[in-house]
Amino acid sequence: MKTVNEILSCHKEILKTASEKEKGALYNSIGQLYYYKGKANIAIKFFQMAVEIDKKYDLKNNLAIDYLNLGNAYRVAGDLEKAQEKLKKGLKLALKLKDTHWIAIGYKYLALFYQAKGNFDKSKVFIDKSCELLVAVGELSVKRKIHRRLYLE
């Protein structure tokens, strides 16, 4: 199994030959890798690059994911104002596209956002919405991870 750093190196190598249109998805993936390494500020830069490319090519599915990941990274970095703006933008796109998985993830990220703001009632509303969708599409393992993350940490 490859380490995060090895996967990051592979992504950066692929970037050298990728078309501009393909780079949006790669930047998003690189942003996720930095996010998982605990480097939210670096992740934000890559998510922003992904947004710019995916906007240029009108890749709405990718944009929904870009904005949700960007908003979540802003939350972790402590910029709650930008987090809320990007999360709402990403969720709006996911809803428009009827992408159940990313709608559920958007609700999860909003639950974490409201938890960070200390609004636990609103956080619970969004986590319940997320779990309801995850159960409907059979993603129970994700549901369990969300509950563990929100209520057991």
Whole-angstrom distance, CA of residue 119 vs CA of residue 116: 8
At 135 the pLDDT is 80
- Splitting the chain (153 residues) into consecutive groups of 10 residues, what average pLDDT does each group show? 85 91 95 95 98 97 97 98 98 96 95 96 94 78 57 44
At 150 the pLDDT is 55
At 1 the pLDDT is 74
Helix (H, G, I), strand (E, B) or coil at 60: helix
Whole-angstrom distance, CA of residue 34 vs CA of residue 42: 6
Residue type, 21: K
Helix (H, G, I), strand (E, B) or coil at 47: helix
At 153 the pLDDT is 40
At 140 the pLDDT is 60
